[in-house]
Structure 1
Amino acid sequence: MSLASSSPGGPADADTFPAVCDHTHLFPGARPRVQGLPDPAAFAAEPRPVEVDLRFSDGVITNAELRTPEPGAVLLGVPAYTTAAGTPVDARTWLVREVSHVDDEVELRIGGLAVS
């Protein structure tokens, strides 16, 4: 297993939460699920900046940052990383077009790339 981060995050780091991804990379329409937030319903209603550990389907984990630069705007900043198959993925900032409360998780629906 290849790790882009040496810290697994989650409960050991109260300010970092796991975000499970069903794929080896993000793309428009991807839906990472943030786990372990103290009040997921409140977070979905009013997102705030948090650090997450993106956990991709191939076992790669990388740190990322959920940002709220202005009311109603949510961005996910992801540093460069390499998939388990060796494919490099450039650093990107994604627009999050929807934040919803699903069971005890917060689902992020990824939109397009943010324009810098």
Structure 2
Amino acid sequence: MDQTTTGPATRENAFLAVCAHTHLFPGARCRIRDLPDPDAFAAAPRPIELALRFADDVLTEAELRTEGPAGTVLRVAPYTTGAGTTIDDRSWLIRELDPSDGELVLVLGGSAPP
């Protein structure tokens, strides 16, 4: 993939998650592709590795975590946007898991505790 900037190299077993923006924020949506049975996953989420692709084609590692008191959390590795803005690593609460059109849509809430 031709990228002007990237995050860390992504793991081979990670599911692709496509985000419509160059960064994440409360209310942002990411669509996880090729997840077997998105309906079952939404009903009973489990930890998985993700490769987040942003609107500027930047790719970075992330993981969906389900353990802990915060519930389902998206942990994102640091990356640099296509415009050169450095984004630190961050964790996001997942407000909603919505199976839609054979994919799973993550809707972000606020920041998760570290």
TM-score above 0.5: yes
What amino acid does structure 2 have at the position aligned with 1:115?
P
1:4 maps to which residue? Answer: 7
Map 1:59-70 to 2 at 5 A.
59-70=57-68
The two structures have a TM-score, normalised by structure 1, of 0.89
Instruction: State the 1:3 CA deviation.
Output: 2.1
What RMSD over aligned residues (CA atoms) do the two structures have, in Å?
1.6
**Aligned positions of 1:97-108 closer than 5 A:** 97-108=95-106
Determine if the alignment matches structure 1 residue 16 to structure 2 residue 19: no
- Separation in 1 of the partners of 2:105 and 2:9? 24
| Structure 2: tracts of 5 or more residues without a match | none
Q: 2:27 is aligned with what amino acid?
A: G
Contact kept, 8 Å, 1:94 with 1:113, in 2: the verdict is: yes
- Cα-to-partner distance string for 1:2-57 (whole Å, 9 max, x where unaligned): 221334x6xxx3x3100000000000000101011111111111111000000000
Query: Counterpart in 1 of 2:23?
Result: 25
The correspondence of residues 49-60 of structure 1 with structure 2, limited to 5 A, is 49-60=47-58
* Percent of residue pairs bearing the same amino acid type: 52
Aligned structure 1 segments of 4 or more residues deviating by more than 2 angstroms: none
Cα distance in 1 for partners of 2:91, 2:27 equals 14
Distance, in Å, in 1 between the alignment partners of 2:86 and 2:16 is 22
Aligned length: 111
TM-score between the two structures when normalised by the length of structure 2: 0.90
